Chain A
Amino acid sequence: MLTIKNLHANIGDNKILQGLDLTLEAGKVHVIMGPNGAGKSTLSKAIVGHYDVEVTEGSIDYKGKDIVKLPAEERALEGIFMSFQNPTEIPGVNNAYFLRTALNAKLKHEGKEELNAAEFLRVMREKLSSLEMKTDMLSRSLNEGFSGGEKKRNEILQMLILKPDVIILDEIDSGLDIDALKAVAEGINSMQDGKRTFLVITHYRRLLDYLTPDYIHVLKNGKILKTAGVELVDKLEEEGYDWIKAE
């Protein structure tokens, strides 16, 4: 579904990713773990075309073409979604209005009919209650004054509405209480349809217990150094990352 080959990426003068290879398979849940500062967020940013990250070498093939040069909004419209580790606040921009604009941009891109306000609200109500979010979250400004957990739920809400094909979740579990964690995990699971790909970045197994990960990848020294099944999580929790060396 998405194939990364020999990816080299810098932030400023720092070489963060150095020849990273990774293939995301359709219908699978990929997990990336690794030490702080290893470049996990940098990898997700490289995939979505973030302005901080400069790709100097390598390719990211998606839907039959290299997307490295594609503007961020086009990657998004083509179905790549990333939940932000720290979602930004935008004062005065109504959350519902933002969601509807984003959804309609996507529908338009797909040549589908845009949703009218009533249809949109119906869809929203349903998703909100599944995430146990209060309806007033819709009328508030985008992320403004949201608590950490509310911001994360709002990211998942956007995922549910936009129905992307590649879903990158960067530490979606950080700062969530137990109930929120469950609600978020359920949201993620509800999106599994055997076609969508998930790239879940996390430090802890507690989220993974609610999901069905297919692969655990370890990112270290600018590369994916190890790929294994879910059993790797236990070992990492016990022993950390020191023992992982280039194979």
Chain B
Amino acid sequence: MENNTLDKAVSADYQLGFEVDIETDTIEAGLDEETIRFISAKKEEPLWMLEIRLKAFKKWQKMSEPHWAHLNYEPIDYQSISYFSAPKNAPDSLDEVDPKILEAYKKLGIPLDEQKQLQGIAVDAVFDSVSVKTTYSEELQKHGVIFCSISEAIQDHPELVKKYMFSVVPMTDNYFAALNSAVFTDGTFVYIPKGVRCPMELSTYFRINALNTGQFERTLIIADEGSYVSYNEGCSAPTRDEHQLHAAVVELITMKDAEIKYSTIQNWYPGDEDGKGGIYNFVTKRGLCKGDNSKISWTQVETGSAITWKYPSCVLKGDNSVGEFYSVAVTTLAQQADTGTKMIHLGKNTSSTIVSKGISAMKGQNIYRGLVKVAKSATNARNHSECDSLLIGDQCGAHTFPYLESKDNQGQIEHEASTSKISDEQLFYLRQRGISEEDAVSMIVHGFCKEVFSQLPMEYAVEAKALLNLTLEGSVG
């Protein structure tokens, strides 16, 4: 296959790059204690929250940006970012939400007005620094499920927030987590009570709109004993020449016999083929399987962002607990992804599965970085890891860094890795059967990602497939 054909196939235009023109309340760029007091005051937070933020800020100031990842980017100037931007007149009811925002979400395929809400999916819509709308909240309340913005949770459920926030990702876990702890603006809070199987899919859609602002959201999901929830996260941002920072923290906690299934479809603006613009995505996601027989499953489809730095992890504390990580990461244009997972085995008979599929095209760089750690206490731990890379064209790259730390040699740990290219032979075979080159590429790529897509809830699997097609569109022609 000729190279320019390939390039065309993988350089489809970003589809969600529109921007809405609304009046916002945006603070000036810069970060100091005053900024943090401003954010906290804007959110009318209780004092304890402000104190935590200030403490995190002090610690962050003493930390330095990590550079161990296999990533190349211009230094981030933390003083040139605005840390708060919200649509003016934060609405109390949907009628008051700026119609332009509703329109924006509609364009993204997420209608928020009552009649048109997505069937069976409750949505929290986060626009820049604030949650503009959470659908189906009341219906979920009937089941005892709390689904609201993190700002509301701080007001209405302080006991839960105090108890669990920072319990999985400590304030000083890493540089970006510390920054997030100081300046986080909104995000989603979920609590599933004992024995409840959440009756619908929960989801959050993050949208960056304002210029020069960072988005720092914080998500906390607690699944109490014997409960189950499937949660999904999506995101996008306008096409801009400037880089924008997104530094989120997600904490998951499962009690005894509980399960959280967390899926992400990440489609932040990736920048252009010369690496101009695009989101810097520095995210800390971690789940704690606190109770015995509990399970946390991460599934991610990463197609966007200029830079991705992200390792959704599981701490398997409860005996017999299970951690899973299924990932498809696509890097095309000049995108760079350093992503993977950590599975920390502490409890007995804990098991983890890692399936990572990296696809690189054009000048994309794809790194898998994974750690499997087995503590002495984790007798009979099991892990299976599979890391496959698919290269399209010859300017892209893929690397795998699997780390293993085991204090216990009774465990069973398997690692498989492969790197392949879409071969001319495979493409020709399909074309000889009347399938266009573009469809042939897409068929081979989907085949490659199958194991991961099959983990996504159905509605999202469809979306992920379509997104993958768009991302790789034009690699042939």
Q: Could you tell me which A residues sit within 8 Å of B by CB distance?
A: 48, 50-51, 71-73, 76-77, 81-82, 84, 87-88, 90-94, 98, 101-102, 105-106, 109, 141-142, 158, 162
Interface residues of B in 433-474 (CB under 8 A from A): 433-437, 439, 443-444, 446-451
Return chain B residues, CB-CB under 8 Å to A106: 434
Q: Flag the segment in B11-19, B97-105, B420-428 that touches A.
A: B420-428
- CB < 8 Å neighbour of B431 from A76, A91, A93, A98: A76
- Which residue in chain B gives the minimum CB-CB distance to A164? B434
- Bound-state CA distance A98–B443 (Å) is 8
Answer whether residue B403 sits at the interface, using C-beta atoms and an 8 A cutoff. Answer: no
- Which 10 A-B residue pairs are closest in the complex by CB-CB distance? A92-B447, A93-B447, A102-B433, A76-B434, A73-B431, A72-B431, A105-B434, A92-B450, A77-B434, A88-B425
21 contacts between A and B (CB under 8 A): A50-B428, A51-B428, A72-B428, A73-B436, A73-B437, A76-B432, A84-B429, A88-B425, A90-B444, A91-B447, A92-B449, A92-B450, A98-B430, A101-B439, A101-B443, A102-B430, A102-B433, A105-B433, A105-B439, A141-B447, A162-B433
Query: What is the 8 Å Cβ interface bit string for chain B, positions 168-185, against chain A (1 contact, 0 not)?
Result: 000000000000000000
Q: Is the CB of B432 within 8 A of A109?
A: no
- Bound together, the chains give a CA A142 to CA B448 distance in angstroms of 12
By the criterion CB–CB under 8 Å, are B448 and A92 in contact? yes
* New A-B contacts (10) at CB < 8 Å, excluding given A91-B447, A106-B434: A72-B428, A72-B432, A84-B432, A88-B429, A90-B447, A92-B444, A92-B450, A93-B446, A101-B443, A105-B436
CB A69 to nearest CB in B, in angstroms, measures 15
Cβ contact within 8 Å between A73 and B435: yes
Contacts of B450 in A (CB 8 A): 92
- Within 8 Å CB of A91, what residues of B? 447-448
A168 nearest in chain B by CB position: B432
- Closest B residue by C-beta to A80: B432
Q: Judging by beta carbons under 8 Å apart, are A90 and B426 in contact?
A: yes
The answer to whether A76 and B433 touch across the interface, beta carbons within 8 angstroms, is yes
CB neighbours of B451 from chain A (8 A):
92
Residues of A within 8 A of B431 (CB): 71-73, 76
Which of B424, B435, B437 has the largest number of chain A CB atoms within 10 A? Answer: B435
Chain A residues in 8 Å Cβ range of B448: 91-92
In this complex, the member of A50, A51, A81, A92 whose beta carbon has the largest number of chain B beta carbons within 10 angstroms is: A92
Q: Is the CB of A162 within 8 A of B428?
A: no
| A81, A90, A101: the one within 8 Å of B429 (CB) | A90
Would you call B434 and A88 a contact (CB within 8 A)? no
* Chain A positions within 8 Å of B439 at CB level: 101, 105
A101: chain B residues within 8 A (beta carbon): 435, 439, 443
Once bound together, how far apart are the Cα atoms of A144 and B450, in whole Å? 15
How far is A71 from B431 in the complex, measured between Cα atoms in Å?
9
> Across the interface, which residues of A come within 8 angstroms of B446, CB to CB?
92-93
**A93, closest chain B residue (CB):** B447
CB contacts (< 8 Å) of A98 on chain B: these are: 430, 433, 443
From A143, which residue of chain B is reached at the shortest CB distance?
Answer: B429
Docked complex Cα distance between A117 and B5 (Å) = 32
How many angstroms between the C-alpha atoms of A158 and B426 in the bound complex? Answer: 16
CB distance from A60 to the nearest CB of B (A): 15
CA distance A84 to B433 in the complex (A): 11
CB of B141 to closest CB in A, whole Å: 40
Of the listed residues A48, A72, A109, A142, the one surrounded by the most CB atoms of chain B closer than 10 A to its CB is A72
Contact call B433/A48, Cβ cutoff below 8 A: no
Question: A91 vs B429: C-alpha distance in the bound complex, in angstroms?
Answer: 13
B447 CB contacts on chain A under 8 angstroms: 90-94, 141-142
Complex CA–CA separation, A92 to B359 (angstroms):
15
Residue in B433, B436, B437, B447 with the greatest tally of chain A CB atoms within 10 Å: B433
Measured between beta carbons, the chain B residues less than 8 angstroms from A162 are 433-434
CA distance A158 to B439 in the complex (A): 18
A107 nearest in chain B by CB position:
B434
Q: How distant is the Cα of A6 from the Cα of B347 in the complex, in angstroms? A: 75
Q: Which residues of B contact A88 (CB under 8 A)?
A: 423, 425-426, 429
Q: Which residues of chain B are within 8 angstroms of A51 by Cβ–Cβ distance?
A: 1, 424, 428
| Assembly CA distance A234 to B430 (angstroms) | 37
B2 to chain A, nearest CB (A): 9
Please determine whether B434 and A93 come into contact, CB atoms closer than 8 angstroms: no
Q: Which residue of B lies closest to A48 (CB)?
A: B432
B205-258: which residues lie under 8 A (CB-CB) from chain A?
none
B424 & A73 in contact (Cβ 8 Å cutoff): no
A87 CA to B433 CA in the complex, in Å?
12
Q: Which residues of B contact A71 (CB under 8 A)?
A: 431, 437
Compute how far the CA of A88 lies from the CA of B446 in the bound complex, rounded to whole angstroms: 17
Q: Is the CB of A93 within 8 A of B443?
A: yes
Q: How far, in whole Å, are A142 and B444 apart by their CA atoms in the complex?
A: 10
Question: Residue of B at shortest CB range from A83?
Answer: B432
CA separation between A142 and B447, bound complex, in Å? 10
Contacts of A92 in B (CB 8 A): 444, 446-451
Question: Beyond A90-B444, A92-B448, A93-B447, is A73–B426 a contact (Cβ under 8 Å)?
Answer: no
Instruction: Please name all residues of chain B whose beta carbon is closer than 8 Å to the beta carbon of A72 when the two chains form the complex.
Output: 428, 431-432
The interface residues of chain B lying within 8 Å CB-to-CB of A73 are 431-432, 434-437
- A123 CB to nearest B CB, Å: 16
| Chain A residues with CB below 8 A from B424, complex form | 51
Closest beta carbon of chain A to B319's beta carbon, Å: 35
Interface residues in B388-446 (C-beta closer than 8 Å to A):
423-426, 428-437, 439, 443-444, 446
CB closest residue in chain A, given B453: A92
> Cβ of A158: which chain B residues have Cβ within 8 Å of it?
433
Residues of A within 8 A of B444 (CB): 90, 92-93
CB-CB nearest in chain B for A76? B434
Closest to A161 in B: B433
Query: What is the CB-to-nearest-CB distance from A142 to chain B, in angstroms, rounded to a whole number?
Result: 8
Distance, CA A141 to CA B430, complexed state (A): 13
Complexed CA–CA distance, A91 and B386 (Å): 15
**Shortest distance between the CB of B156 and any CB in chain A (Å):** 46
Alpha-carbon gap, A178 to B429, bound state (A): 27
- Residues of chain B within 8 A of A50, CB atoms compared: 428
The docked-state distance in angstroms from the alpha carbon of A158 to that of B1 is: 24
